[in-house]
Amino acid sequence: MGKVTLQDVAKAAGVSIATASWAVNDNKNVRIPEATRRKVRKVADRLGYHSNALARGLARGRSDLIGFVSDGVATSPFAGQVIQGAQDEAWRNGKILLVVDTDGNPTIERKAFAFMLEHQVEGVIYSSWVHRSIVPPAELDRITSVLVNCFDEQGRFPAVVPNELQGGRTATQLLIDAGHRRIAFVNDPPISPASVGRLAGYRQALEESGIEYDPRLVIAAGADQEGGYGAAGAVLASGATAVFCYNDRASMGLYDALRERGLRVPDDLSVVGFDNQEVISAHLHPALTTVGLPQYDLGVLGVRALLALQEPGADRVGDDADAGMPDAVGMPDVAEPAGPPYAPLLVACPTVMRDSIKPR
């Protein structure tokens, strides 16, 4: 049998082609008896008819498609959870996520936006694999858009980003609560939301606990294994009994350097990482206590923010979702963001307790 057409469905159901179209495309603007709608859909299912998605979207006034454009999230070993969270939340709301990873290629990005606009997506989530400030693509001005894991400094678009300050404060507080007072911080030198925010959180935790900030305990090192390895000498020379590392990769390098010196974590030095790259943190010996990036939550809340822009009048969640949400069910509803200019929605970075802290 050839391709089943709308004419085939109409003939089998005993209705006009127009009525068949209205029924299968669920056009609520046309009055059709519900029994007729059900009959036509049943016939369409039996015959294996598939309506044109674009035509169906036009008939209903919505496509049920959400675009997701990233510059490398899909290929990042741990940031793919952003897509998973967005996809799950889209599906919970009856939407389908169209994902394009441009790998930072502007030509691919332009084609991706053209494709999504052509298919009348209801909105676009634009995401970066690393938390940073961006210049939003001009195409975002043409459609409802939300930024995830990135932001524009003018606040032209709603943004959902990790709460770096809270994460840095939490990491430092874990060590303070274990009785440590001389705590080093191995930080990435380049200025970024993560390096600035985590340092501010480190300082805030010290201040709130009555511990004087000592800039000599802040050690600049690359955000990788080599950086952490190279920072070990300065950490030990500082007299620190504990260290908060900018990320888990730096922590791994620090572990290696300590082992070479015959020192042990946490007996000789307590260590807290950041990011929760499980391929690293869960498999170090001992397993690394760390603060996770809320990748899944960013995706979920990005979709919620996007949908909220289409639902004005609901109660607004503030600009801080600092609630440590374990799953989508426990997250707050995100109402229409106030703006522009929009203040970023800050998402809490969760604690992941393992075995690298020893009480003093």
- Does residue 227 sit in the same domain as residue 148? no
Residue 290: is it exposed, middle or buried by C-beta count within 10 angstroms (0-12/13-18/19+)? buried
Question: How many of the other CB atoms lie within 10 Å of CB of 335?
Answer: 17
Q: Are residues 194 and 244 in the same domain?
A: yes
List, for residues 12-66, the tens digit of each pLDDT value. Answer: 889 888 888 778 777 666 778 888 888 988 988 888 887 665 555 555 556 789 9
| Same domain? 14 vs 78 | no
In a domain, 253, yes or no: yes
pLDDT of res. 18: 81
Is 275 found in the same domain as 182?
Answer: yes
Cα 291 from Cα 237, distance rounded (Å):
25
- pLDDT, tens only, 302-360: 999 999 998 755 333 334 444 343 344 445 555 566 667 899 999 999 999 999 999 99
**Mean pLDDT for the stretch of residues 148-159:** 95
Do 168 and 247 form a contact (C-beta atoms < 8 A)? no
Residues 198 and 248 in one domain: yes
Is 343 a member of any domain? Answer: no
Q: Is 172 within a domain?
A: yes
- Is residue 91 assigned to a domain? yes
Same domain, 148 and 233: no
Global pTM reads: 0.81
pLDDT the model gives residue 49: 81
| Mean pLDDT calculated for residue range 63-74 | 84
Question: Is residue 253 domain-shared with residue 288, that is, in the same domain?
Answer: yes
Residues 135 and 242: their CA atoms lie apart, in Å, by 39
Give the CATH number of the domain where residue 12 resides: 1.10.260.40
Both tokens of 71, joined, read 């510059």
Q: Is 341 helix (H, G, I), strand (E, B) or coil?
A: coil
Q: What is the layout of strands, in order, in the sheet containing 345-347?
A: 96-101, 65-70, 123-133, 145-151, 159-162, 345-347, 320-321
Query: Do residues 230 and 259 share a domain?
Result: yes
What is the tens place of the pLDDT at every residue in 259-297? 999 999 999 999 999 999 988 999 999 999 999 999 999
Distance between alpha carbon 101 and the CA centroid of its chain, in Å? 14
Looking up residue 250, the CATH number of its domain turns out to be 3.40.50.2300
- Give the closest residue to 347 by CA, choosing from 167, 205, 192: 167
Range(s) of the domain holding residue 52: 6-60
pLDDT (mean) for 170-194: 97
Number of domain units in the chain: 3
Report residue 30 as tokens.
């046309």
The answer to whether residue 282 sits within a structural domain is yes
Structure confidence at residue 134 as a pLDDT band (50, 70, 90): very high
**Mean pLDDT (whole number) for 252-263:** 98
3-state helix, strand, coil in the chain (%, to 5): 40, 20, 40
Q: What is the mean pLDDT of the chain?
A: 87
Q: Which of 41, 60, 79 is the last residue of a domain?
A: 60
Quick one: 171 and 22 in the same domain?
Answer: no
Question: Are 194 and 265 found together in one domain?
Answer: yes
pLDDT at 58: 52
> Do 81 and 151 sit in the same domain of this protein?
yes
Question: Does residue 321 belong to any structural domain of this protein?
Answer: no
pLDDT at 194 (0 to 100): 97
Instruction: State the pLDDT at residue 328.
Output: 41
Residue pair 47/12 in contact by the 8 Å Cβ criterion: yes
Higher-pLDDT residue of 53 and 155 is 155
* 22 and 79 assigned to the same domain: no
> In this structure, what token pair is assigned to residue 280?
């690293």
Distance CA 76, CA 79 (A): 5
327 occurs within a structural domain: no
* Pairing relationship of beta strands 123-133 and 183-187 according to DSSP bridges: unpaired
Domain-located, residue 69 = yes
Last residue of a domain, one of 258, 293, 328: 293
